[in-house]
Amino acid sequence: MKNNLKKNLMKRLKPVLILCLLAVFLFAYLYAASTQCEWTKIEKIVAVGDVHGDYDSFVKILRGTGLIDNLGHWTGGKTHLVQIGDVMDKGDNARGILDLIMRLETEAEKAGGKVHMLLGNHEELNITGYAFDNPGYVTLKQFKSFLPDRYIRKQEKIFRKKMSKSHPREAHSDSSIDNNLDKYWEDFHREVTRKDKHPARRQYTISFNTIYGRWLIKQNAVIKINDTIFVHGGIHQRFSTKKLKEINNRLRLELKDYRWAAITSGKPNIDERNRLIVYVSEGPLWFRGLAQYRGKDWETVVDTILLNLKAQNIVIGHTPQINKKDMKRFGGKIWIIDTAISETFRSSGGFLSALIIENGKFSRKYDF
CA-CA distance, 106 to 114, in Å (whole number)?
A: 8
- Three-state SS at 328: strand
Mean pLDDT of 106-129: 98
The answer to whether the CB of 259 falls within 8 A of the CB of 278 is no
Confidence at residue 271, expressed as pLDDT on a 0 to 100 scale: 82
Nearest-10 Cα torsion for 336, 339, 340, 343: -150
CA-CA distance, 27 to 177, in Å (whole number)?
A: 51
CATH for the 38-129+200-365 domain, from 3.10.105.10, 3.60.21.10, 3.30.70.20, 3.40.50.300: 3.60.21.10
Radius of gyration from C-alpha coordinates of the chain: 23
Q: Is the pLDDT of residue 286 over 60?
A: yes
pTM: 0.88
- Three-state SS at 316: strand
Neighbouring C-alpha atoms within 13 Å toward the C-beta of 321: 21
Q: Is the pLDDT of residue 168 over 70?
A: no
- Three-state SS at 157: helix
The 10s digit of each residue's pLDDT in 37-93 is 999 999 999 999 999 999 999 999 999 999 999 999 999 999 999 999 999 999 999
The 10s digit of each residue's pLDDT in 4-17 is 655 565 566 655 45
The answer to whether the CB of 27 falls within 8 A of the CB of 34 is no
The 10s digit of each residue's pLDDT in 87-100 is 999 999 999 999 99
Closest CA to 220 of 248, 257, 255: 248
With the C-alpha atoms ordered 328, 331, 332, 333, is the resulting torsion angle positive or negative?
negative
Confidence at residue 232, expressed as pLDDT on a 0 to 100 scale: 98
The answer to whether the CB of 45 falls within 8 A of the CB of 356 is yes
Question: Binning pLDDT at 50, 70 and 90, where does residue 200 land?
Answer: very high
According to DSSP, the β-strands at 44-48 and 80-83 are parallel
Confidence at residue 211, expressed as pLDDT on a 0 to 100 scale: 97
Confidence at residue 22, expressed as pLDDT on a 0 to 100 scale: 46
